[in-house]
């Protein structure tokens, strides 16, 4: 079995401004603009994922209890497919696009030319700590940018693996990893970036957006949401139950687009509930706490503190009925 890399110390905060300046110097040199450089970085990242697969999968198991299969299908395999797709389309995506010139500038010609932005910050979450750190990195490298990757401190083994491995495979003057928690992230957000990508909760998303606004930095915020599942009377309830259960419990439910609630035709409500009970037993056994020990222990300490009050108070989630708009009382 491959040894898990020990968690690393946080990156020195005093070094962060200089690190960002060095990345900007690299970008200003023009090195990252060529398609050859971009393609080479993507190829090297793919090589990292292939050659160091065991190290990365073991880190995911250490942090989140993910099996090798789940780690591959949801993280490494997903990333390798994304790299292959990006490399195969890169020339077409970056080709100047001819557009019609307005009458005022004719007989001139007009084109849309897609340019790299500069230095990009990626702040990743803990639930898919590899996928949601390296996925944005793939996009940023393909676009010809320099990148700072800030992994989640809640997945320390995966964070340490990225900090150890990325400099061995990628251009160290164009890609950097900053480890740490709130102080290090705060120090990063004080710097001027040309784009920030953040995946996580709305509270931190507001902090990221406020920090970016000081520099007029554009942001991409992926904050999850409440995803409904609709089941009408004509649905195949066995298929619906299996799909709902798979989507809800994959990655122990820690997926931003997992089904949060079900809107079901009352005529088939009981049958759907029965089907869901059967499917959950098929998936996880008659006693999931015993049969799937360790698989669902993925609530990070901070999130666990949010859940504890509900379990101690005996709170429960009940099935409720939506009143059609036409039947709602008028005020």
Distance CA 301, CA 285 (A): 27
Q: Are strands 175-177 and 195-199 parallel, antiparallel or unpaired?
A: unpaired
Backbone angles phi, psi at 143, to 5 degrees: -85, 0
Q: State how far Cα 145 lies from the chain centre.
A: 19
Neighbouring residues of 226: CB distance < 8 A, sequence distance ≥ 6: 260, 261
User: Band of the pLDDT at 315, cuts 50, 70, 90?
Assistant: low
| Full-model pTM | 0.85
The reported pLDDT for the residue numbered 7 is 65
What is the rounded average pLDDT for all residues in the chain? 88
164-190 pLDDT tens trace: 999 999 999 999 999 999 999 999 999
Q: Are 83 and 46 in contact (CB under 8 A)?
A: yes
The reported pLDDT for the residue numbered 299 is 53
pLDDT of 96 over the 90 cut: yes
**Residue of 164, 173, 190, 256 marked active site:** 256
The reported pLDDT for the residue numbered 293 is 59
The reported pLDDT for the residue numbered 199 is 95
Q: Is 146 a catalytic residue?
A: no
The reported pLDDT for the residue numbered 292 is 64
Structure tokens at 236: 């195949």
The reported pLDDT for the residue numbered 211 is 97
149-161 mean pLDDT: 95
Distance CA 259, CA 245 (A): 9
Structure tokens at 203: 């509270």
Q: Which domains does the chain have, with CATH numbers?
A: 13-96+109-222 (3.40.605.10), 227-312 (3.40.309.10)
**Residue of 173, 222, 269, 303 marked active site:** 222
Q: Is 256 a catalytic residue?
A: yes
Distance CA 205, CA 211 (A): 10
Q: Are 50 and 139 in contact (CB under 8 A)?
A: no
The reported pLDDT for the residue numbered 251 is 87
């Amino acid at each position: 079995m491959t040894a898990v890399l020990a968690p690393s110390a946080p990156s020195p905060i005093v070094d962060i401004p200089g690190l960002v300046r060095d990345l900007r110097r690299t970008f200003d040199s023009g090195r990252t603009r060529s398609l050859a450089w971009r393609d080479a970085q993507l190829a090297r990242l793919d090589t990292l994922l292939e050659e160091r697969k065991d190290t990365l999968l073991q880190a995911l198991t250490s942090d989140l209890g993910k099996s090798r299969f789940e780690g591959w299908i949801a993280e490494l395999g997903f990333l390798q497919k994304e790299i292959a797709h990006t490399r195969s389309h890169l020339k077409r995506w970056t080709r100047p696009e001819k557009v019609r010139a307005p009458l005022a500038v004719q007989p001139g010609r007009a084109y849309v030319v897609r340019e790299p932005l500069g230095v990009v910050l990626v702040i990743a979450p803990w639930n898919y700590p590899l996928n949601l750190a390296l996925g944005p990195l793939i996009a940023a490298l393909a676009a010809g940018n320099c990148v700072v990757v800030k992994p989640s401190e809640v997945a320390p083994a995966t964070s340490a693996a990225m900090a150890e491995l990325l400099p061995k495979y990628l251009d160290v003057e164009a890609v950097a990893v900053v480890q740490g928690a709130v102080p290090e992230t705060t120090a990063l957000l004080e710097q001027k970036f040309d784009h920030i990508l953040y995946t996580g909760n709305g509270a931190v998303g507001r902090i990221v957006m406020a920090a970016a606004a000081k520099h007029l930095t554009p942001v991409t915020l992926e904050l999850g949401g409440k995803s409904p599942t609709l089941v009408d009377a004509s649905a195949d309830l066995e298929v619906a139950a299996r799909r709902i259960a798979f989507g809800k419990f994959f990655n122990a439910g820690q997926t931003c687009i997992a089904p949060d609630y079900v809107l079901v035709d009352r005529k088939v409500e009981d049958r759907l509930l029965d089907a869901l009970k059967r499917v959950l037993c098929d998936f996880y056994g008659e006693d999931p706490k015993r049969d799937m020990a360790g698989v669902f222990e993925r609530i990070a300490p901070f999130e666990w503190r949010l859940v504890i009050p509900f379990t101690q108070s005996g709170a429960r989630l009940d099935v409720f009925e939506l009143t059609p708009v036409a039947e709602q009382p008028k005020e």
